[in-house]
Amino acid sequence: MYDNWEELKQSIVNCNKCKLCKNRTNIVFGTGNEQSDLMFIGEGPGADEDKEGIPFVGRAGKLMNMAFEGLALDRNSVYIANIVKCRPPANRNPEDDEAQACLDYLRNQVLLVKPKIIVLLGSVALKNILGKEYGITASRGTWIEKKGILYMPTWHPAALLRDDNKKIDFWCDLKKIIEKRNELEG
């Protein structure tokens, strides 16, 4: 574990711990407020993220940005990262060995950010962070507390592109998150 961002970032730039290192253009480290009380965890980079080196800049990210704007949640005030830092080929889900190889970096990011609330975007984030026994359909929109951190699983923004009902759920979950954030700040 690293106690500073620069060393952590550098170790990822040079990482070849899993096979995803072979096809990446850029690693996608994470972005936003490095001391935020609120952190979002996605799955892994897509084509746009791989090109730019920033999480959630493609279609799903733009939809997420619109929801943030609609609820006056400043994207720069939160920290956003992914389970894997390198793009899985053809946007497939990260495989277990890849997620396991990469997870220490995310744990290190969580230790440095020290968020009070972590939003788990979709099944891959949920299962890798809280455990395989959790299902996204049953647990989304509910608070799960572990080791002093409040977790809220919700739909992955890419799932919203295909389903308007999920857009409504996502909106409601974000509202709950903002309320809780204000409550904890208060």
Residues of span 84-113 touching ligand URA by CB under 6 A: none
DSSP string, 81-130: EES-SSPPGGGPPPPHHHHHHHHHHHHHHHHHH--SEEEEESHHHHHHHH
SS3 48: helix
Candidate list 38, 39, 78, 101; residue touching ligand SF4; CB under 6 A: 101
Confirm or reject binding of residue 86 to ligand SF4 (CB under 6 A): yes
Candidate list 12, 54, 78, 118; residue touching ligand SF4; CB under 6 A: 12
Confirm or reject binding of residue 46 to ligand URA (CB under 6 A): yes
Smallest gap from residue 24 Cβ to ligand SF4 (A):
6
Candidate list 61, 88, 94, 153; residue touching ligand URA; CB under 6 A: 61
By beta-carbon proximity to ligand URA, the closer residue of 34 and 184 is 34
Q: Do residues 78 and 40 make contact, with C-beta atoms less than 8 angstroms apart?
A: yes
Cα 12 to Cα 4: distance, rounded to the nearest angstrom: 13
Confirm or reject binding of residue 17 to ligand SF4 (CB under 6 A): yes
By beta-carbon proximity to ligand SF4, the closer residue of 23 and 76 is 23
SS3 8: helix
Question: Can you state the percent helix, strand and coil of the chain, rounding each to 5?
Answer: 50, 15, 35
Structure tokens at 149: 């951190």
Binding site for ligand SF4 (CB under 6 A): 12, 15-18, 20-21, 27, 84-86, 98, 101-102
